[in-house]
Structure 1
């Protein structure tokens, strides 16, 4: 059976933009420019012959067609990700962790993580910051004092009222198996407390 499918990149652009209601935040997630996301969505709309978004002044809204289309596309990507995860041999899932320069890596007991998670190839980049995360050089970041950033999930990993250390991941990949495994590992460390999950409030906008 031959499947009549639109281009994958166009579907990814639509799905990310629909979740964020913002071309700019979708662009951050996909590591492209907002203009590229907008062009991909426009090409998808032309191919389908339907309008998926209402482009208002500084606001992006799903049309009825877009709302009906999104669940199936999101579910399709989830099935692809799960099938890929099951297919990969041990160590095939790669996780690039970025860590700010003053963080003591001994807190993470990375040797024990690697020994108990043979399916994940963990690499660490230190020092690293938000720039490396946005540019796609790391998949996950331990940052100092980054309590909120649009399009990213920020979860505190220590106690206190100061800046503290935060685990930061793009909203679109924050629930990927390898990131979930590392998050669970952090929670289980003897000195760790449950992560304080703060999902950022996303403000939609065509170019915002």
Structure 2
């Protein structure tokens, strides 16, 4: 049986925009620009022959057709995610961590993290920066930054104010289990360091 389906990227753009009621926040989640989300949704509307959103000044509202369409699309993505999760062997949840070039990886004790979290396959890309995070090449980033990035959760991992080292994750995936596990690991690692040799605890925040 051949299914008459719209393009998957257009459906993802619609589903994310409908949840957030924002092209901007959907773009942050999908690692694309708000304009790209808007173009995908517009193309989907043209293909379906219905309007899914009312585009008001600084406000996005689902039309009646959009409200009717959203539950089925969301459920479809949920079923795809569940089927994929069941297909994967245990221990293959992958977390891709980006690290800026000047950070000494020995400070993170990644071997101990892998040993303690056998269910997470941790890969590290160094050097990496915001470009790799925005493009989806990494899921989580330790960056030398000011820690103010709209749409991203930022946790400072060194002392002081201004430029410093921050753990950065997109708001849409900041609470995924593997990201939460690494954040908790890093928090515990810093807490275990003697005060004379460690930086203060993580300070959480979201860029604005």
Measured against the shorter chain, the TM-score band is: 0.7 to 0.9
Distance 1:169 1:176 in 2: 10
Normalised to the residue count of structure 1, the TM-score between the two structures is 0.75
**1:54-112, Cα deviation, whole Å (9 max, x unpaired):** 2245x241235346765665565456435533542134222221111222222211001
- Residue by residue over 1:113-134, the C-alpha shift from the partner in whole angstroms, topping out at 9 and shown as x without a partner, is 1112222221112221111111
**In structure 2, do the counterparts of structure 1 residues 90 and 81 end up closer, same or farther at CA, with 3 Å as the change threshold?**
same
Higher Cα radius of gyration: 2
Residue 92 (structure 2) aligns with? 92
CA contact (8 A) 1:156 1:166 kept: yes
> What is the CA–CA distance in structure 2 between the aligned matches of 1:178 and 1:103, rounded to whole Å?
22
Q: Which residue of 2 aligns with 1:188?
A: 188
Whether the aligned pair in 1 keeps the contact of 2:32 and 2:134 (CA below 8 Å) is: no
Question: What does 1:77-156 align with in structure 2 at a 5 Å threshold?
Answer: 77-78=77-78, 80-156=80-156
In the alignment of these two chains, the number of paired residues is 200
Q: Which residue of 1 aligns with 2:196?
A: none
CA RMSD of aligned residues (A): 3.2
Rounded Cα–Cα distance in structure 2 between residues aligned with 1:79 and 1:167: 31
CA–CA distance in 1 between the matches of 2:86 and 2:160?
A: 39
Residue 17 of structure 1, CA deviation:
2.6
Is the Cα contact below 8 Å between 1:142 and 1:166 reproduced in 2? yes
1:204 corresponds to: none
Assess, with a 3 A threshold, how the Cα gap between structure 1 residues 129 and 194 changes in structure 2: closer, same or farther: same
Larger mean CA deviation between 105-114 and 81-90 belongs to: 81-90
Match of 2:204 in 1: 197
| 1:143–1:115 distance in 2 versus 1, CA, 3 Å | same
- Unaligned 5+ segments in structure 2 are 194-198
Q: 1:73 to 1:128 in 2, by over 3 A?
A: same
TM-score normalised to the size of structure 2? Answer: 0.75
* Unmatched runs of 5 consecutive residues or more in structure 1: 202-208
What SS class does the counterpart of residue 97 from structure 2 fall into?
A: strand
Asked if the contact 1:145–1:164 (Cα under 8 Å) also holds between the matched residues in 2, the reply is: yes
Kindly indicate whether residue 37 of structure 2 is the aligned counterpart of residue 37 of structure 1.
yes
Contact 1:16 1:172 in 2 (8 A): no
Deviation at 1:155, TM superposition (A): 1.8
